[in-house]
Structure 1
Amino acid sequence: MVVSARAPALLLCRAAAGRPTSVPVGGTQVEQLDAVEAMLAEHAQIERDLADPAVHADAARARRLGRRYAELGRVVQAYRQWRAAADDAQAAAELAAEDASFATEVPALQAAADEAAERLHRVLVPRDPDDGRDVILEIKAGEGGEESALFAGDLLRMYTRYAERQGWSVQVLDATESDLGGVKDAQVAVKARAAGPPEDGVWAHLKYEGGVHRVQRVPVTESQGRIHTSAAGVMVFPEADDDGDVDIDQNDLRIDVYRSSGPGGQSVNTTDSAVRITHVPTGIVVSMQNEKSQLQNREQAMRVLRARLLAARQEEAAAAASEARRSQVRTVDRSERIRTYNFPENRIADHRTGYKAYNLDQVLDGDLGPVIASAVEADDAARLAAAGGGVA
């Protein structure tokens, strides 16, 4: 808005104007203010709770409150921006009825109010409440033998470098290397270094990576230069909090210990430090041998088990709900081929979103942002359409 001599009068009229009763979006009146008012009250209450030192004595509760506070913060900011823009437009319209010179400001102010209303509507569309969580990422070599293991190693480096670009930390929980230096399977924890908005969380970005990743290239083991196709599987789980998210009955666990081994089955440990934990009710099995300490391997295995159980519980809830709360892009079927990495053409293609680019070398070096952005945009569009609003 251009500030003029009439601005003080305009601000006074805005202050005196009544509260709008609905949020206009795309020419329709969407009755959402009751929900917004409840969110504003919840945001204010959580702010008071987080200021109480006693709350932080319970680390799990403090983390949950922090994630919810950041999620509600987007709504609070969008609401305040819309409220100010709507009041400006309303006040200008009222003044224009008495003074024609105000009429020239009305169209621009109304356009700003409409744009702010659209932003508010977008943030009110239900999002994945786990967006702010850290993740457990698992990469497994698939069909293709040694070439698949080499590609799995490429994927692990790609995610590690992407995480570094995002300012996240990566901890390798367990990894089994192949004879040629590839990765048969690996489990890593990716964590944000500081709390931030949910949409900037690790899960918000990496949840789209689950599925089959296909590679087309000439393997190092191929002497005649023929292009082969192989694949590696990626699974991504939101990491469960240590307390509160998943309750595990110790009686439901079968824990086996054994000696860890390296490439080719060669014994690399003379003590039974490797740990295999089976969650009997679900049949989920987690094995760890990366650490020399049996206790450390057990702790890491429990960390992965909690993440898998949390993901399984959420998938069951999503399947039972009328509206799945999981991503519209990320599929439940982890056997889905989601992406192709074509080395001869230096091309990467995402089969869900239609994204295609010829900078595969850069993507494998960690420049994964545009690829993930295409999935985020497709997911947001699907959520907005499901909510019955948005821009055509």
Structure 2
Amino acid sequence: MIDRLESIARRYREIDAEMARPEVATDHARLTKLAREQAGLREIVTTYERYRRAQHEMQSAHEMVRHEKDAEMQEFLRSEERRFAAQVGELEESLKVLLLPKDPNDDKDVVVEIQGAEGGEEAALFAADLFRMYQYSQLKFEGGVHRVQRVPKTEAQGRIHTSAATVSVMPEADPVEVDLKPEDYEIKTSTSTGPGGQSVNTTYSAIRITHRPTGIVVSIQDEKSQLQNKEKALRVLRARLYDMKLAEQQAAIGAQRRSMVGGGNRSEKIRTYNFKENRVTDHRIKLTMHKLDQIMAGDLDDLVSALIAAERASQLDGSDGL
């Protein structure tokens, strides 16, 4: 862990030096990229500096105890050593968490879709309850099937019904960008065919571009100028690559949504809400809380904290997460 922390600290200092260079200071795009990278490292670096200071103070106190003759002073130094040792332990745990890989979607806006699933009208009413609850809370862990057990407002006999609603939480999609590098495509020229006179059929103005990674081929001979045909062919190629990437992005979002909501069956539940017992059970971490009324009012802090702790623990032991 120390080697990795030293590497991060070195990179942080390198960014500082690079941002101070005049040519970087005038390059807004480069400066923004470096500032963003440095901001992502800052908390790790400052925590590591505190860790090193606490470790140094702990070792200094330990050495001073060995050479101190006064019993009262020895006891004071031992208490200082214990205090700094506790700080070292706490900061080490913080560093372990900070070094965990971050979810790249954590900082994005999200699109939340809530639908009534099994249970008809009662499922729709419960979906509305979930919507009100989520207006004030963190959403990352909420994708899945939510099961409810309660007496519906529409139930005249007082019987408990079991229904379900599905929640999908997806990060807002990044704008699709097409990075078309010259080394990724091959250009061939040829004479144009068709009407246009002798000069059209003897001038190498027709353009054929092959995109190597995808195999897409674009041929353009509309203009008399080779340069104009090339520019048009590249525009067409960019448009086709954009359509391809957009389709891939939409397919990935669709797959992510399907993995969250499944078939909407109660058996696929991630959480159960039992109104009669004022009980919530999160089946992923086997946590039961008897404060359903508070949770439905938006007080999800304890529940979300438990889910975050479980996810971090699973990352630390190398498992796949929740």
Alignment TM-score, normalising by the size of structure 2: 0.63
Q: Equivalences for 1:213-292 in 2 at 5 Å?
A: 213-242=146-175, 249-252=241-244, 284=251
**2: CA distance between counterparts of 1:142 and 1:96?**
68
Match of 2:207 in 1: none
Q: Which residue of 2 aligns with 1:378?
A: 310
Q: 1:150 to 1:46 in 2, by over 3 A?
A: farther
Residues 1:360 and 2:288 aligned together: no
Is the 1:141–1:233 Cα contact (8 Å) retained in structure 2?
Answer: yes
Distance 2:6 2:112 in 1: 38
Aligned residue in 1 for 2:11: 42
For 1:220-255, what per-residue CA distance to the aligned partner results, in whole angstroms no more than 9, with x for missing partners? Answer: 3323222111111111112233365999945349xx
Residues 1:65 and 1:228: Cα distance change in structure 2 (over 3 Å): farther
Q: CA 1:282 to 1:383, structure 2 compared with 1: closer, same or farther past 3 Å?
A: closer
Correspondence 1:143 to 2:118? yes
**Structure 1 residue identity aligned to 2:312:** D
Mapped partners of 1:251, 1:245: distance in 2: 10
CA contact (8 A) 1:210 1:233 kept: yes
Separation in 2 of the partners of 1:382 and 1:132? 21
- Partner in structure 2 of residue 308 of structure 1: 253
Task: Note the C-alpha offset of 1:147.
Answer: 1.5
1:134, 1:78 → 2: CA distance? 28
Q: Counterpart of 1:341 in 2: which secondary structure?
A: strand
SS at match of 2:48: helix
**How many residues are matched?**
245
Tell me how large the CA RMSD over aligned residues is: 3.7
| Secondary structure, aligned partner of 1:207 | coil
Name 2:45's counterpart in structure 1: 76
Of 139-148 and 113-122, more deviation after overlay is shown by 113-122
Question: Is the Cα contact below 8 Å between 1:158 and 1:363 reproduced in 2?
Answer: yes
Taking the aligned partners of 1:88 and 1:153, their CA distance within structure 2 comes to 55
Supply the AA of the counterpart residue of 1:233: T
2:271–2:282: 8 Å Cα contact kept in structure 1? Answer: yes
> Is 1:211 the counterpart of 2:144 in the alignment?
yes
Distance in 1 (CA, whole Å) between partners of 2:175 and 2:52 is 40
Alignment match, 1:190: none
Tell me what 1:134 maps to: 109
Residue 55 in structure 1 maps to residue 28 in structure 2: yes
2:13 & 2:124 partners in 1: Cα distance?
50
Between the aligned partners of 2:249 and 2:132, the Cα distance in structure 1 is: 31
37-46 or 80-89: bigger deviation: 37-46
Q: 1:378 to 1:245 in 2, by over 3 A?
A: farther
CA contact (8 A) 1:212 1:337 kept: yes
Question: What code does the residue aligned with 1:76 have?
Answer: V
Aligned to 2:82: 107
Partner of 2:278: 346
Whichever residue aligns with residue 349 of structure 1, its letter is: T
Maintained 8 Å contact 2:167/2:260: no
Q: Percent identity?
A: 39
Q: Distance in 1 between matches of 2:35 and 2:30?
A: 13
Q: C-alpha distance in 2, partners of 1:34/1:349?
A: 41
> Which structure: greater helix fraction?
2
Unaligned runs of 5+ in 1: 1-31, 164-204, 254-278, 285-306, 316-330, 388-392
Q: What TM-score do you get using the length of structure 1 for normalisation?
A: 0.53
Using the TM superposition, give the Cα deviation of residue 337 of structure 1 relative to its aligned residue in structure 2, in angstroms. Answer: 0.9
**Is the 1:216–1:340 Cα contact (8 Å) retained in structure 2?**
yes
Compared CA separation, residues 57 and 118, structure 1 to 2 (3 A): closer
Relative to structure 1, the CA distance from residue 54 to residue 367 in structure 2 (aligned partners, 3 Å threshold; closer, same or farther) is farther
Counterpart CA distance in 1 for 2:121 and 2:308 is 33
- 8 Å contact kept, 2:145–2:269: yes
Larger radius of gyration: 2
- Partners of 2:98 and 2:309 lie apart in 1 by 14
CA 1:36 to 1:357, structure 2 compared with 1: closer, same or farther past 3 Å? same
Among candidates 92, 107, 113, match of residue 61 of structure 2:
92
Q: Which amino acid aligns with 1:41?
A: R
Match of 1:157 in 2: 132
> How far has the Cα of 1:114 moved from its partner?
3.0
Q: Distance in 2 between matches of 1:353 and 1:212?
A: 15
Specify whether residues 283 and 78 from structure 1 end up closer, same or farther in structure 2 by C-alpha distance, changes over 3 A only: closer
The secondary structure found in structure 1 opposite 2:270 is strand
- The amino acid of 1:36's aligned partner reads L
Where does structure 2 lack aligned partners over 5 or more consecutive residues?
Answer: 180-237, 263-267
CA distance in 1, matches of 2:110, 2:15: 25
What CA deviation, in whole Å up to 9, does each residue of 1:129-148 have, x standing for no partner? 43233222111221111211
Hey, what's the Cα distance between the residues in 1 that align with 2:83 and 2:5? 25
Question: Counterpart of 1:96 in structure 2: which amino acid?
Answer: V
Deviations 1:259-290 (A, max 9, x none): xxxxxxxxxxxxxxxxxxxx655774xxxxxx
